[in-house]
Structure 1
Amino acid sequence: MRIIAGEWRGRRVAAPDGDTTRPTADRTRETLFSMLVSRIGSFEGLSVADLFAGSGALGLEALSRGAAQALFVEQDAAAVRTLRANIAAFDAQAKCDVRAASVMGLGPAKSQPDIVFMDPPYGTGAGPVALDKLNRLGWIASSTWVSIETAKGEDVAVKGFTIEATRDSGKARLHLLRPAAD
């Protein structure tokens, strides 16, 4: 895997060993960031949350493109070790908050990220369940963009959210959501 664009373009991102973690393919990540850039413009100064982070490729891609800070949440110990190593390799520790925990274990938010990336295990329905909980805990602002990656063919529905776009990319389906207007 490589960073697609920005300051770290072309640099490698290590993936955890084994099959516990399924990194987002470069082409799928490129599709996702294209979808976001066409809607938000620049990542400059934004805060992002990379949930079910694995290697951290989504959050690192956002930082490479100018995001100011990234929260990474991952519970698999091997993935957390790889994530921390990737952050160190990019010398990005000052911009990163790594939490070795379950996304479902997060408490109330202290602030809301501009973009939330969610790449849960396929076929589990964990993304919509986690988003619903995080919304109730104050993690989602009215301006927050949420990306949920699922397997191709999986649909996403979360009360209080509108699906702005859906794209298939390889084996993945990307869903961009926004809080529904009241």
Structure 2
Amino acid sequence: MRTLPLAIAFSLLSTFAAAADATDPVRQVMKITEDNWNTVDSEWKYIFDPDPLARLFSKRFQAAYAEAAKHPAYETENNQPGDPFGYDVITSSQDGCPLQEVKMNSGAGAGGMTDVTVTFKMWTCVDEADVKDSVSEVHFDVIDEDGKPVIDDIHRVADGERDSVIEEMQSIAKGE
């Protein structure tokens, strides 16, 4: 009789542990990104559409996006403002190939933040060997907010330097 309550308790604990995985929001963002680059036939899905923005990103990130969105990079076909970026924020590109060899690792960061690193090849359809074999690296700062992991910033790495999407959005909001 005691085994049933213990089994339920362990089941609940494992459910909560799985639900609190810092890689969850990053996996969802990367799934959208991979799907976008896998085909030209389907509609592009934006990671900053209202639903994924509210579910996967921190309140600080959402606020920075809302301010930057007041300065869209382009107008859409229906004459509505587009997002503040004129490119895919994850791949840091307007062009590319289907993403290959996507790998994800997570490690401790400062102040309770988890650093989730994603690497991938995005130029495998290009004939130049050095470009074709290049590996892109993106870091996601994941924090716990209201009991769930959310992305607080995104850092693309190029030439050994890390940028910050939050800082980019703050610059866009200032009209820079």
- Provide TM-score, normalisation by structure 1: 0.25
User: Which structure would you say has the larger Rg?
Assistant: 2
- Provide TM-score, normalisation by structure 2: 0.26
Larger relative contact order, structure 1 or 2 (CA cutoff 8 Å, min sep 6)? 2
